[in-house]
Copies of this chain bind each other. A is one copy, B any other.
Amino acid sequence: MTKQKRFLLQESEIPTQWYNIQADMVNKPLPPLNPATHEPVKVEDFFPLFAEECARQELDQTHSFIDIPEPVLEKYKSYRATPLVRAYDLEKALDTPAHIYFKNESVNPLGSHKINSALAQCYYLKEQGITNVTTETGAGQWGAALSYAARTFGLEAAVYQVKISLQQKPYRSIMMRTFGATVEGSPSMSTRAGKDFITADPTNPGSLGTAISEAIELAISTPNCKYTLGSVLNHVSLHQTVIGLEAEKQMEQAGEYPDIVIACFGGGSNFGGLAFPFLRHNLLDGKQTTFITAEPSSCPKLTRGKFEYDFGDASGYTPLIPMFTLGHDFRPANIHAGGLRYHGAGAIVSQLLKDQYIKAVDIPQLESFQAGLLFAQTEGIIPAPESSHAIAATIREALRCKESGEQKTILFNLSGHGLIDMTAYDQFLNGDLQNYDISDADIAKTLASVPKI
């Protein structure tokens, strides 16, 4: 008997709304605070920075479902729904009784889930009459997606890419330029924040935190220009829930429901995107699915950070966000999973972790590449180093099932492909990659940068 491998949705089955988990949470996320007054930030306070509609979504704790605007849905239809795939060959290689499914966001335009929010943010900006957009990017997945989305809706884009990632993955910046975007390595000399970082340490390889500072500074100092973020914030995760909403229908096609849902974790948008629609059923319908975030051992905010109000960027330009954080001064090691090199977690996920709806694990770099290699060799898709963290966590669970004999259903998000990261695979194959240990003392030191409230 043939076992079905891929579960597809027709265009008419693509979700027409995003899921806003804030409305259903028992303990709502704490409000972001104005760093000067320590007063809760109001919707209008975000207007100088973000699209007004995104600002409203950011603080919306009442509407469970929010309509996807028609022009965004139209663009979704040119690549969504993405396939849900049963990873039979990976199961076989692991000799596990577990059923492993993955949502394949790697076949999206630009190769990752990022496009789902990039299109929404650029659309809202365009609608509002904005002409220019800035952003930060780590590995470049977000920057590439944003560049294409900006082009689609007729905006000029300027991208700050983390310097070390720009060097490790030169192809991604070419992708951004293919869509007409300007790209600069961060820290750069083009902003006040960048100059400060470079003056303090000319070898600073950059991080998402430094790049966010620079992009925000450019946005607030440029007329008719707004800033967009690729993760962390509530509205970004909201846009990504199209992934989980599709997966829900597709798991139903497969006749299964996930016991475990896994995604890699940088700021939280690909995790939230897949997990929240399933978590909804834990919150409302008594389901008991386990949700696992997979973060790098070298950037362990959820496993070893502290739940505090902290800045979202390295320079302290953002509001204070209630987050699990390593301190905004934290400088992550130069791992290849550039999209996971971020000191904090979004407010929603932080609250859910605190309330024990979510479990966090950390993955050493070498384990992530080992997992990515096995996935490539069995399923034929070379995963992004970020996504390989989810694969590694999946393999751990599948091997646990092998030991216990349990036939659990595991669903993970293949957030992107790794074709732009082949030099990282090259180094791994040559034995030139390493793990990065981080001591409690190191973490205590950067946690000291968390502002006192």
Task: Name A residues whose Cβ lies closer than 8 Å to a Cβ of B.
Answer: 2, 4-6, 8, 10-11, 74, 77-79, 85, 88-89, 107, 109-111, 115, 148, 151-152, 170-171, 174-175, 177-180, 373, 376-377, 379-382, 419-420, 422-423, 425-426, 429
Contacts and interface: CB of A to CB of B under 8 A. Distances in A.
A9 to B, nearest CB: 8
Contacts of A74: 2
Contacts of A174: 422-423, 425-426, 429
A78 B382 contact: no
Nearest to A253: B10
Contacts of A177: 426, 429
A175 B88 CA distance: 22
Contact of A6 (B5, B11, B379): B11
Contacts of A380: 78-79, 109-110, 115, 148, 152
A9 B173 CA distance: 35
A381 B178 contact: no
Nearest to A144: B382
A379 B171 contact: no
A8 B8 contact: yes
A426 B178 CA distance: 8
B8 A77 contact: no
11 contacts: A2-B74, A6-B11, A8-B10, A78-B380, A115-B380, A171-B171, A174-B426, A175-B419, A175-B425, A177-B426, A419-B420
Contacts of A152: 89, 380
A422 B8 contact: no
Contacts of A115: 380
A15 to B, nearest CB: 14
A74 B85 CA distance: 13
A75 to B, nearest CB: 8
Given A420-B419, A422-B171, A78 B377 contact: no
Contacts of A11: 2, 4-6
Nearest to A380: B109
Contact of A78 (B85, B107, B110, B179): B85
A46 to B, nearest CB: 28
A229 to B, nearest CB: 21
B2 A178 contact: no
A231 to B, nearest CB: 20
Contacts of A85: 78
Contacts of A107: 107
Given A109-B380, A174-B429, A178-B429, 7 more contacts: A4-B77, A5-B77, A110-B380, A171-B423, A174-B426, A177-B429, A178-B425
B6 A381 contact: no
A188 B396 CA distance: 43
A4 B2 CA distance: 30
A377 B151 contact: yes
A78 B429 contact: no
A178 B369 CA distance: 11
A116 to B, nearest CB: 12
B77 A6 contact: yes
Contacts of A379: 78, 109
B109 A178 contact: no
Nearest to A376: B178
A151 to B, nearest CB: 6
B5 A377 contact: no
For the complex of A and B, the 8 pairs showing the least CB-CB separation, nearest first, are: A109-B380, A171-B422, A174-B422, A107-B107, A174-B426, A5-B77, A419-B419, A5-B78
A107 B83 CA distance: 11
A85 B423 CA distance: 32
Contacts of A178: 373, 376-377, 382, 422, 425, 429
A175 B382 contact: yes
A298 B154 CA distance: 36
A324 to B, nearest CB: 34
Contacts of A381: 109
A383 to B, nearest CB: 11
A111 B419 contact: yes
A413 B175 CA distance: 22
A345 to B, nearest CB: 29
